[in-house]
């Protein structure tokens, strides 16, 4: 994470909790974790518009972190991506609250919409895929890749 990104996440008190939980899982912890972030402002408005639901929270679990580590934590260059690290998880609140783009992805088995949030930061684009329940959204995966002339 760049110094600029570190400065940007200071606006989000949840940032340290997301990064700390990821670091714990990266280091082999099998303890259950669930980090929640209250949905408000632009994120709330966009979710209301896209889903016509009052989404209250976004959360991340230890299981989600393990999935992200397994799928995006190493050997990402072969896919044109960059390995995600525990420190990158501090950017989740920024990606979700200050997204550049959000789009519908597929729907899950229960028919709930999956959304893909994107945020460009200094030549890197961070992407977070979330799945919706009735009043909550879960971060299911998170990755990053290099893009030319992106700014944050």
Q: What is the pTM of this model?
A: 0.89
In the chain, domain spans = 3-146
Q: What is the rounded distance in angstroms from the CA atom of residue 15 to the CA atom of residue 118? A: 17
Split at pLDDT 50, 70, 90, the class of 29 is: very high
Mean pLDDT of 41-46: 94
- Is pLDDT above 80 for 110? no
- Is pLDDT above 60 for 70? yes
CA atoms within 13 A on the CB side of 27: 9
Among 64-68, 110-114, 132-136, name the most confident range: 64-68
- Is pLDDT above 70 for 87? yes
Closest CA to 46 of 96, 94, 90: 96
């Amino acid at each position: 994470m760049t110094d600029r990104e570190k400065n940007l996440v200071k606006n989000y008190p949840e940032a340290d909790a997301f990064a700390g939980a990821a670091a714990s899982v990266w280091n082999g912890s099998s303890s259950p974790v669930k980090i929640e972030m209250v949905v408000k402002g632009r994120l709330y408005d966009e979710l209301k518009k896209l889903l016509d639901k009052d989404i209250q929270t976004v959360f991340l679990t230890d299981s989600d972190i393990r999935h992200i580590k397994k799928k995006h934590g190493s050997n990402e260059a072969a896919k044109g991506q960059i390995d995600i690290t525990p420190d990158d998880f501090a950017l989740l609140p920024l990606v979700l609250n200050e997204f550049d783009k959000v789009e519908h992805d597929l729907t899950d088995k229960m028919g709930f919409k999956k959304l893909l949030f994107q945020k460009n930061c200094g030549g890197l684009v961070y992407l977070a895929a979330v799945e919706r329940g009735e009043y909550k959204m879960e971060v299911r995966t998170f990755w990053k890749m290099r893009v030319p002339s992106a700014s944050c």
